[in-house]
């Protein structure tokens, strides 16, 4: 049973970096927060500007998961609204469940406010689309194995066999493994690839374009070693293709719920 004297913990997606990419709801909750725990290694401190002056703001970068949970629990005993600010969307590589379980066990209410993931921000930075009619209609968010092993059936070679858009998180230092996976799935060496460093961060965003063959070299030249999204997709570069299949949704000969076909 939830005690009425306890506050609520909100896991809020801070967005990918640009403070303007937090949701209105996230901003409102920050504005009424008594305590904020933010992931300082990935969330710009500027996002915490939305918290009131008296709010306790703590950077979690030196904390263990247990210490974070204890902090959230103790703050929920003092404040009505406690915010755990997470990079991008809290449900992607964010240890959400590990942090929510101790709250649940102590009867502390919690909820999630979704955020703009860095995958979205990276494609936006490059002016690229994740889907394209008759090219690919699917997106896979994944990573390669680092210290966290990949579950069976999820190695990149297996996922890349789908030939859809692949957004590879947490893997910039493992680009050779990304290349290995794509090659094992038969992607040609000239397949376009994209790496975006600090997507949406004001003045810090960098977009590196290349191919399966040279993306690693290009990232090395650009000195990109952290906080980057790796994208492999058959849609990349489509802005400049000579032929493009139109999306049915906007085709004048296609009737749908909101528009009658004109021809
Ligand atoms: N929950 C986050 C992901 C956290 S895991 C989200 O939804 O975006 C951390 C990884 O996310 C990084 O290794 C990197 O691959 C990616 N990432 C986070 N912020 C990024 C940014 N601004 N630009 C590019 N990649 C980013």
pLDDT-derived band of residue 234, with 50, 70 and 90 as boundaries? Answer: very high
Atom of ligand 1 nearest to the CA of 200: 22
**197 touches 169 (CB < 8 A):** no
Pocket test for ligand 1, best of 40, 87, 205 (most atoms within 8 A of CB): 87
Q: Using a 6 Å cutoff on CB, does residue 229 contact ligand 1?
A: yes
Residue with the larger pLDDT of the pair 258 and 170: 170
Q: Using a 6 Å cutoff on CB, does residue 17 contact ligand 1?
A: yes
The mean per-residue pLDDT over the stretch 118-138 comes to 97
Which of 40-44, 173-177, 209-213, 215-219 is predicted least confidently? 40-44
- Residue 255, pLDDT above cutoff 90: no
Q: What is the DSSP string of 195-218?
A: EEESTT-TTT-EEEEEETTTHHHH
How far is the centre of ligand 1, averaged over its atoms, from the C-alpha of 49 (Å)? Answer: 21
Q: Using a 6 Å cutoff on CB, does residue 7 contact ligand 1?
A: no
Q: Mean pLDDT over all residues of the chain?
A: 93
pLDDT-derived band of residue 26, with 50, 70 and 90 as boundaries? Answer: very high
Query: What CATH class does 8-113 carry?
Result: alpha beta
185-204 pLDDT, tens digit each: 999 999 999 999 999 999 99
Residues of the chain with CATH 3.30.950.10: 118-237
- Residue 43, pLDDT above cutoff 90: no
In 3D space, the residue among 92, 127, 130 whose CA is nearest the CA of residue 13 turns out to be 92
How far is the centre of ligand 1, averaged over its atoms, from the C-alpha of 196 (Å)? Answer: 10
133-148 pLDDT, tens digit each: 999 999 999 999 988 8
Q: Which residue is closest in CA terms to ligand 1's atom 11?
A: 169
d(CA 160, CA 29): 39
How far is the centre of ligand 1, averaged over its atoms, from the C-alpha of 43 (Å)? Answer: 10
Q: Using a 6 Å cutoff on CB, does residue 21 contact ligand 1?
A: no
Q: Using a 6 Å cutoff on CB, does residue 142 contact ligand 1?
A: no
Pocket test for ligand 1, best of 169, 194, 232 (most atoms within 8 A of CB): 169
Describe the crossing of helices 215-222 and 175-184 by its angle, rounded to 10 degrees: 170
Up-side HSE of residue 192: CA atoms within 13 Å toward CB?
Answer: 16
pLDDT-derived band of residue 42, with 50, 70 and 90 as boundaries? Answer: confident
CATH architecture assigned to 118-237: 2-Layer Sandwich (3.30)
Residues of the chain with CATH 3.40.1010.10: 8-113
pLDDT of 5 reads: 66
The mean per-residue pLDDT over the stretch 86-104 comes to 96
The mean per-residue pLDDT over the stretch 149-156 comes to 95
Helix/strand/coil (H, E, C) string of 137-191?
A: CCEEEEECCCCCCCCCCCCHHHHHCCCCEEEEECCHHHHHHHHHHHHHCCCCCCC
d(CA 200, CA 49): 17
- Residue 3, pLDDT above cutoff 60: no
pLDDT of 40 reads: 82
- Residue 1, pLDDT above cutoff 60: no
- Report percent pLDDT > 70 for the chain: 93
- Report percent pLDDT > 90 for the chain: 83
């Amino acid at each position: 049973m939830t005690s009425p004297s306890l506050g609520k913990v909100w896991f809020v997606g801070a967005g990918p970096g640009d403070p303007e990419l937090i949701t209105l709801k996230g901003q409102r909750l920050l504005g009424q927060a008594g305590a904020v725990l933010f992931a300082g290694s990935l969330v710009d401190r500027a996002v915490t500007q939305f918290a009131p002056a008296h709010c306790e703001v703590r950077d979690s970068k030196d904390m263990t998961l247990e210490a974070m949970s204890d902090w959230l629990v103790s703050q929920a005993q003092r404040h009505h609204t406690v915010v755990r600010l997470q990079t991008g969307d809290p449900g992607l590589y964010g240890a959400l469940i590990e942090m929510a379980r101790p709250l649940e066990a102590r009867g502390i209410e919690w909820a999630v406010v979704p955020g703009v993931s860095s995958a979205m921000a990276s494609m936006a930075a490059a002016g690229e689309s994740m889907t394209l009619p008759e090219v690919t209609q699917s997106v896979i968010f994944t990573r390669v194995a680092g210290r966290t092993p990949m579950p069976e059936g999820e190695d990149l070679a297996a996922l890349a066999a789908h030939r859809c858009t692949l957004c590879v998180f947490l893997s910039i230092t493992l680009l050779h493994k990304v290349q290995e996976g794509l090659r094992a799935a038969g992607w040609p060496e000239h397949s376009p690839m994209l790496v975006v460093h600090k997507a949406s961060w004001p003045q810090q965003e960098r977009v590196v374009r290349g191919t399966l063959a040279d993306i690693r070299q290009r990232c090395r030249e650009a000195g990109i070693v952290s906080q980057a999204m790796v994208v492999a997709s058959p849609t990349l570069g489509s802005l400049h293709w000579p032929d493009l299949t139109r999306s049915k949704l906007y085709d004048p000969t296609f009737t749908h719920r909101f528009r009658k076909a004109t021809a």
